A and B are shown apart, each in its own frame.
Chain A
Amino acid sequence: MGRAISMQALSGAAPAAAIVLRQVSKTFGDFTALSAVNFEIGDNEFFTLLGPSGCGKTTLLRLIAGFEDTTGGTIHLYGEEIGNLPPNKRPVNTVFQNYALFPHMTVWENISFGLQMLGWTRKDIDRRVGEMVLMVKLDQFADRKPSRMSGGQQQRVALARAMAPRPRVLLLDEPLSALDLKLRQEMRTELKRLQRETGITFIFVTHDQGEALSLSDRIAVMSAGEIQQIGPPSDIYEYPANRFVAGFIGETNLIGAKVTAVGKDVLTCELSDGEIVHARSDAPVSEGRAGSISLRPEHLTLSWEKPVGESLRGEILEVTYLGTDMQYRVRLSDRLHLDVRHQNKNNAIVAINPGAPVYISIADNAARFLVR
Chain B
Amino acid sequence: MPTVSAAFAPLRNWLMAPSWLIVGFFLVLPVLLMLVYSFLTKEFRGGVIWEPTLAAYDQFLFDRGLFGDAPPRLQWAYIQIFFRSITQAAGATFFCLIIGFPTAYFIATRADNAKVVWLFLVTVPYWVNLLIRTVSMKFLIRDNGPLNEGLTALGLIDAPVQLINTNVAVQLGLFYSYLPFMVLPIYAAVERYNFALSEAASDLYAPKWIILRRILIPVVMPGIVAGCILVFVPSLGAFLAPDLLGGAKTFMIGSLIDEQFKGNAGNWPFGAAAAMILLLLVLIVLTLYARSQSRSKV
- Could you say which residues of chain B place their CB within 8 Å of the CB of A165? 204-205
- Min Cβ gap A362→B in Å is 48
- Could you say which residues of chain B place their CB within 8 Å of the CB of A87? 199, 202-203
Contact of A117 among B197, B204, B219 (CB under 8 A): B204
Please name the residue on chain A nearest to B207 by beta carbon.
Answer: A88
- Interface flags for B165-196 (1: CB within 8 Å of A; 0: not) read 00000000000000000000000000000101
The answer to whether B202 and A86 touch across the interface, beta carbons within 8 angstroms, is yes
The answer to whether A88 and B206 touch across the interface, beta carbons within 8 angstroms, is yes
Interface stretch of the complex, out of A95-103, A183-191, A352-360: A95-103
Complex Cα–Cα for A92 and B197 (A): 16
Question: Chain B contact residues: over half helix, strand or loop, or mixed?
Answer: helix
Contact of A100 among B194, B206, B210 (CB under 8 A): B194
The answer to whether B219 and A94 touch across the interface, beta carbons within 8 angstroms, is no
The answer to whether B206 and A117 touch across the interface, beta carbons within 8 angstroms, is yes
Classify chain B's interface size: 10 to 19
- Quick check: is A308 within 8 A (CB to CB) of the other chain? no
- Quick check: is A123 within 8 A (CB to CB) of the other chain? no
- Could you say which residues of chain A place their CB within 8 Å of the CB of B153? none
Most buried by A among B200, B215, B221: B200
The answer to whether B205 and A104 touch across the interface, beta carbons within 8 angstroms, is no
CB contact list, A100-126 vs B, under 8 A: 100-104, 113-114, 117-118
- Quick check: is A65 within 8 A (CB to CB) of the other chain? yes
Are A96 and B199 CB-contacts (below 8 A) given A104-B218, A104-B219? yes
The answer to whether A117 and B205 touch across the interface, beta carbons within 8 angstroms, is yes
Complex Cα–Cα for A111 and B199 (A): 15
Please name the residue on chain B nearest to A90 by beta carbon.
Answer: B203
- Could you say which residues of chain B place their CB within 8 Å of the CB of A67? 199, 202-203
- Could you say which residues of chain B place their CB within 8 Å of the CB of A258? none
- Interface flags for B201-227 (1: CB within 8 Å of A; 0: not) read 111111100100011001101000000
- Min Cβ gap A292→B in Å is 40
- Could you say which residues of chain B place their CB within 8 Å of the CB of A66? 202-203
- Quick check: is A161 within 8 A (CB to CB) of the other chain? yes
- Could you say which residues of chain A place their CB within 8 Å of the CB of B218? 104
- Interface flags for A58-89 (1: CB within 8 Å of B; 0: not) read 00000001110000000000000000001111
The answer to whether A114 and B197 touch across the interface, beta carbons within 8 angstroms, is no
Complex Cα–Cα for A202 and B203 (A): 16
- Could you say which residues of chain A place their CB within 8 Å of the CB of B194? 98, 100
- Min Cβ gap B291→A in Å is 18
Please name the residue on chain A nearest to B211 by beta carbon.
Answer: A88
Which 7 pairs, one residue from A and one from B, show the smallest C-beta to C-beta distance?
Answer: A114-B204, A100-B196, A117-B205, A100-B200, A87-B202, A88-B205, A104-B218
Residues of A bordering B, CB below 8 Å: 65-67, 86-89, 92-94, 96, 98, 100-104, 113-114, 117-118, 161-162, 165
With A88-B206, A100-B200, A102-B215 already in contact, 17 other A-B pairs whose C-beta atoms are closer than 8 Å: A66-B202, A88-B204, A88-B205, A93-B203, A96-B196, A96-B200, A100-B199, A101-B200, A102-B197, A102-B219, A103-B197, A103-B219, A104-B219, A117-B205, A162-B203, A165-B204, A165-B205
